[in-house]
Structures are given as C-alpha cells and as structure tokens.
Amino acid sequence: MNTKQEPQRFVIPIGPQHPALKEPGNFQFTVDGEIVTKAFVRLGYAHRGIEKAAEERTWIQDLYLIERVCGICSHIHALAYCLAVEQLAHVEAPPRAQAIRVLVAELERIHSHFLWMGVSGHEAGFDTFFMYSWRDRERVMNILEKLTGNRVNYSANVLGGVKFDLDKEQIASIRSGIDFLEERTRHYLDVVATDFMFLQRTRGIGVMSRAQAEIMGAVGPTARASNVARDVRKDAPYAAYKEYPVDIILDERGDLEARFEVRLKELFESFYLIRKILDTLPGGELTARMPRKVPAGEAVMRVEAPRGELLYFIRSNGSDKPERLKIRTPTICNLTSVVKLAIGHQLADVPMILAGIDPCFSCNDRSVQIRTSSDPDGRMLSWDELRQHGIDFYKRLEK
C-alpha cells in the first residue's frame, strides 16, 4: 500500500481494488495517528457509459441494457425504466403483472439483504456469519431461478408487463423457501443484537443523526436507521404497492447496529408481502399493448431499490429512442454521507462503515478501456469496436 506524506499527515488510499466489498472504488483517508481527519472519494472504475449508450438504442433494446446496470438489483432498475416508459406512453400494466413485479422485487430485496449481511459480517471478521448467510441466500436465488430462469439478471419485465406467470408448483416452492428464510432471519436478528464480539464492531460506530441524514440526503435503510421515514414504497407507491402496502421500519440510533437491525426487520416485511401476494394474486393478462414509438415528454420515476431510492428520469422526443435517460442510484446519495461519517473514526472501522451503507459501485458507475500486453497504456474503444473486440475474443477462445 502506498502512503503519501502531506505536512505531518498521512493519506491512506483504500481501493480501487476491493475497498470494502468486492467492487472497485477509491477512497483517500487523511489520518492523524489512527483517526481519520479527511476523506475523499473517487469513482468510475466500473463506469460503462450506460446513460450515453441508452440514447443510441431503441426503447426495447434499452430494457436489456438497463437490466445490466447492476447484477444485484437488476429487476428494480428494469422496473423503474418500464414504469417510466409506460407513464410516457400512457400504458398501464395489468394488475397481475404489477403484483408479479412486486413479488420479484421483494425476492430481490431478500437476496440483496442476505448478500449484504454476509459481506458486512465478513468485514467485521465474522466469517461464520458470512458463510451461513450466503448458504441461506442460495435458497432465494433458487426461487428466483425457478421463477425466471436466471439467478441474476432475471429479466422479468417487458414494456407493458411481465414475461412469466406463476404455476402452483412455483408458488409452493416460494412458500416453503420463505418459511425457511424467515426462521433463519429470526436467528440472524438474534445474532446481530446479542453477539458481544459483533456488537463491539457495530454499536456506536458510524453514528449518523437524523439531522445529518436529512441534510446529506441519505436514502433507504441507511436513512431509516437514522429515523428518517423515507421509503418510496410508502411515500409514492408504484406498481402494486398501493394494494400491498408495507410498514416503514425505523430506528433512532443511527449506528451500524441500527442499520443491521433495520435491514433484517425489513426482511420480515418482505416475507409478509410475498405471502400476501401469493394469497391474493389477481388474475388476468400479463402484458398490455405497448406502442413502438413513445410520445414526446418527460417522466420521473422513483422506486425503492434494496439500497434505497432509485430515480429514473427519461425525456422522449417522440421517436423510438430516448432523448435522455438519467439514473440516480441510491449508493451515490449514501456515499457522500459515509465519507463524512468516517471523519473522527478509527481507520480500522472504515471498512465496516463503508460496508454499512451497502454500496453498489456498478450501479453507480456507468467508457471502456482495454489494456493488453502489447498496448499497456490502454485504448478507448467505440461501442462497435468493443462489440467486435468481444466477438474476436471469443472466436480466438473457440480455436
């Protein structure tokens, strides 16, 4: 690790490789002894130019592009995009489709929260926790695979509805899976609230007050753990959340412990919601007819991703391609807060604080640079060149 000396201070770079999670981001912490006095963030290591690429593609092609913004929360991105385009086109997806969208969104939340739980357990040095929670996460991944055919990038949405229906066998396997996961969640909640060693890493660490959370614009479970009642599912219900309301889980402590508890308690809401949807799934069509061209106009769509509020802004010029598509992910809001929070803490607590907001860098970063041994400085590729590069690369592999 390189250290750079400022007058009587050390700047310690964390990242770009794996700063806390297995994703790239660079943080520079100025330290005075063990205490962090200044923090700076640099992103873009996973920037793929998706917003620009979306302007060059049709509404339908964009759906597949958007699903690939993030592997963890691909469904919620596609959902936000579909809802925004449907709003512009004055199309409404049928009730059954909306319910299935919410069902998949909640399953995705369970998978995301379990993933996060394991990763932050690992950051705390509690690897048993990591292994058990990731074992259990497989259960929800299997459910998702059974439903949609994929473990990640489920591709459940189409413009105007969803692609698949549920059959009896799938419903039964979701129910038994949810029962199992609920029992496990209860156990994990007990662990994070009582395990003495673990509490030493979470209690009173990274405290964010309500006022701080509000002024720094924190969203999602990070905000709710600081007693800010901000949840899009409740504030501005979309898809079928009007018919299937959720309770907001709040905690006033604002430390890492609270963030653990809020996320775990949210899972019970998800389990409840999934059961309710399975009990009262409305009948009818799965898709509504969608025009190829979308009328000119603007749409803002907000949805609650596992990590917090996700905002899509779309401007259409009446053609078959969007004029502008803007994605504001929850992590970007929470990162600002985390950088400020780290100040005054021990350097050793920084990974836990970082992991505590559940950052998702690939969501955040959306240029492509290829480095080869013959061209160590790297070279920028256009989209066509990149596509050709991919084709050639795999052709070489086949030989």
Residues at the contact surface with another protein, assessed by CB under 8 A: 41-44, 47, 49, 51-52, 214-217, 230, 235-236, 298, 300, 302, 309, 311, 313, 315, 323-324, 326, 328, 332-333, 335-337, 340, 365, 367, 369, 379-383, 385
Taking the complex as a whole, the smallest distance from the CB of residue 240 to another protein amounts, in Å, to: 16
Task: Rank residues 91 and 267 by Cβ distance to another protein and give the closer one.
Answer: 91
Q: Is the dihedral of CA 386, 387, 390, 392 positive or negative?
A: negative
Is the CB of residue 326 less than 8 Å from the CB of residue 312? yes
Supply the minimum distance, in Å, between the C-beta of residue 181 and another protein.
31
In angstroms, what is the minimal distance from the CB of 217 to another protein? Answer: 4
For the bound state, the minimum distance from the C-beta of residue 296 to another protein, rounded and expressed in Å, comes to 12
| Least Cβ distance, residue 41 to another protein (angstroms) | 8
Q: Which is nearer to another protein, 198 or 312 (CB)?
A: 312
Residue 128: count other Cβ atoms within 10 Å of its Cβ: 10
The most distant pair of C-alpha atoms in the chain lies apart, rounded to whole Å, by: 69
| Nearest alpha-carbon partner for 50 in 366, 323, 319 | 366
Q: Which is nearer to another protein, 68 or 340 (CB)?
A: 340
Q: Is 36 helix (H, G, I), strand (E, B) or coil?
A: strand
User: 278: buried, middle or exposed (CB in 10 Å: 19+, 13-18, 0-12)?
Assistant: middle
Q: Kindly tell me which of 178 and 338 has the beta carbon lying closer to another protein.
A: 338
- Least distance (Å) between residue 213 CB and another protein: 10
Q: Name which of 113 and 230 has its Cβ closer to another protein.
A: 230
C-alpha to C-alpha distance for 319 and 280, rounded to whole angstroms? 39
Under 8 Å between Cβ of 281 and 174: no
Spatial distance between the Cα atoms of 149 and 156, rounded to a whole number of angstroms: 9
- 43 or 357, CB closer to another protein? 43
The residues that bridge with 311 in the sheet, in sequence order, are 302, 328
How far is the C-alpha of 68 from the C-alpha of 212, rounded, in Å?
33
Q: Smallest distance from the beta carbon of 293 to another protein, in angstroms? A: 20
Tokens 């350097």 label which residue? 347
Q: Are 258 and 251 in contact (CB under 8 A)?
A: yes
Give the H or E element holding residue 191: helix 168-194
Q: How far apart are CA 399 and CA 31, in angstroms?
A: 52
Nearer to another protein, 175 or 324 (CB): 324
CA 286 to chain CA mean position, Å: 26
Nearer to another protein, 234 or 265 (CB): 234
CB of 186 to another protein, least distance (A): 33
List, in order, residues 6 or more apart from 214 with CB less than 8 Å away. Answer: 228
Q: Which residues have a Cβ under 8 Å from the Cβ of 247 and sit 6 or more positions away?
A: 234, 269
Q: Which is nearer to another protein, 214 or 243 (CB)?
A: 214
Q: How far is the CB of 323 from another protein (least distance, A)?
A: 7
